[in-house]
Amino acid sequence: MGVVDSLPGRRARMVAVGVIRSDADLSTDLRLLKIAEGLDAWLDEHVPDVVAVERVFAQHNVGTVMGTAQAAGLAMLGAARRGVPVALHTPSEVKAAVTGSGRADKAQVTTMITRILDLDEPPRPADAADALALAVCHLWRPAGALQGGDRHELTPAQRAWAAAEQAAKQRPRR
Amino acid sequence: MGVVDSLPGRRARMVAVGVIRSDADLSTDLRLLKIAEGLDAWLDEHVPDVVAVERVFAQHNVGTVMGTAQAAGLAMLGAARRGVPVALHTPSEVKAAVTGSGRADKAQVTTMITRILDLDEPPRPADAADALALAVCHLWRPAGALQGGDRHELTPAQRAWAAAEQAAKQRPRR
C-alpha cells in the first residue's frame, strides 16, 4: 500500500506506505477477509481521489496469480464501494514510469522511488516500494488508465497533472 | 447461484437458483461491485450454513481465469464476513459427485442435477445447473473440503450428512 499526494511541477509526496499481511496458515476465505479489512482501513483513513491497482496477467507466475488476482479484485471492490475511480497499470508501465525502462529490476524501482519521493531511506519490503511506484506512475499518467469512462471525472489535482504532462510532451526532450 | 437444503437419506431440495450478471461493458471495478452486491443479497436472504465455491485453477482458460478467480474471491469474502464456512470443490469433484464421472459434460451434469433435485425442468443456463451440482456435491461430502480447520464446526445438518455418508460407505455397493 502506498499513498502519495500530488504537488505542483510533477512532484509527489509520500503520505503513507505499508503492507497488508495475512497469515499463510489461514484458509483462503479468512486471508481474503483479513486483506479486505486492511484495505477498508486504508481507504477510510486516506480517502483517496483514485486507486491504482497493478494489472495482473494470467500468463505469469501461475502459482501465485490466483491470489494476486483475488487481492487486486478486493482493492477494486473497496474502491468501487466508495465511488473512487480505479486505474490499472501493468508492471512494465510502472517500471517505465519511475526508471525509464519497462524491464527494470526491483532494486532499480526501489532506488528511483526513494529519489522521486525524496525519502530518507528506501521503503521496505520491495512490495511497498512497488506500491509507491504504482501510485507515482498513476500521478504521471492519470488520464489514460482510468476505468469506467465518463463515470470518472478527474479531480482538480488530476487535471493539473494531465495538463502538466501534456505541456511536458510539447517541450523538446534533452 | 444455487441454494439447497439437505433432507434425510442423502436427499436434497432446491431452495433457489439463479445467476448474478454484470454488464460486460462496465469496467472491472464496477463489475466486481455488481457481483459483490448480488452475492451479499443472496447470502443475506438465504443465510447458508456453508458456502461451496468452485476451486479455480490458473492452468485452464487463461482468458477467463482472472475474472473467475476474482468472482470466487468475492464469494469467499462474503461468506467470511458473515462467519460462514467456505468449502472449495474442483469441477471434477462436482461432476463425479452428481454423474459418477469426473469428465462428464455440461449436459450430463444438467440432466443429473435435474433428476437428483426432482426438478420439473432443467435449470438454465448451464452455469446455474453447475451451481446446484456444486451445492449437492458439498452436501454429499461435507467434512473433507471445509477450509479453516477447527474454526469450522459442522452444523447439525452437516454432521448428519457426514454420519450418513460414513454409514453408506460401510454398506456394500451394488
pLDDT digits (tens, 9 = 90+) for A72-124: 999 999 999 999 999 999 999 999 999 999 999 999 999 999 999 999 999 99
Mean pLDDT of B151-157: 50
Model confidence band, residue B156 (pLDDT cutoffs 50, 70, 90): low
Q: Is the pLDDT of residue A161 over 60?
A: no
Q: What is the pLDDT of residues B67-94, one digit of tens each?
A: 899 999 999 999 999 999 999 999 999 9
Residue (of A144, A143, A149) closest to B29 by Cα position: A149
Say if residue A85 is preceded by a cis peptide, omega within 30 of 0.
no
Classify A89 as helix, strand or coil: strand
Model confidence band, residue B173 (pLDDT cutoffs 50, 70, 90): very low
A54 a catalytic residue: yes
Question: What pLDDT, on the 0 to 100 scale, is given for residue A128?
Answer: 96
Model confidence band, residue B160 (pLDDT cutoffs 50, 70, 90): low
Residues of A in contact with B40 (CB under 8 A): none
% of chain A at pLDDT higher than 70: 78
The least confident of B20-24, B136-140, B144-148 is B144-148
Q: Is the pLDDT of residue B165 over 80?
A: no
Residues 6 or more apart whose Cβ sits within 8 Å of residue B151:
A27, A30, B85
- The architecture that CATH gives domain B2-149 is 2-Layer Sandwich (3.30)
Question: What pLDDT, on the 0 to 100 scale, is given for residue B136?
Answer: 96
Question: What pLDDT, on the 0 to 100 scale, is given for residue B63?
Answer: 66
Mark yes or no for CB contact B32/A80 under 8 Å: yes
Mutate to test the interface with B, among A26, A27, A29, A86 (most CBs of B within 10 A): A29
Written out in words, the top-level CATH class of the domain with range A2-147 is: alpha beta
Q: Which helix (H) or strand (E) holds A147?
A: none
How far is CA B143 from each of CA B7, B50, B146, rounded to the nearest angstrom?
A: 17, 11, 6
Mean pLDDT of A29-37: 97
Mean pLDDT of A163-170: 51
Mean pLDDT of A33-51: 97
Mean pLDDT of B133-138: 96
Is residue A14 within 8 Å of residue A2, measured between CB atoms? yes
Would you list the domain boundaries of chain B?
A: 2-149
CA distance A137 to A41: 23
| A51: closest chain B residue by CA | B29
Q: Is the pLDDT of residue A9 over 90?
A: no
Residues of A in contact with B65 (CB under 8 A): 58, 65-66, 69
Mean pLDDT of B141-150: 53
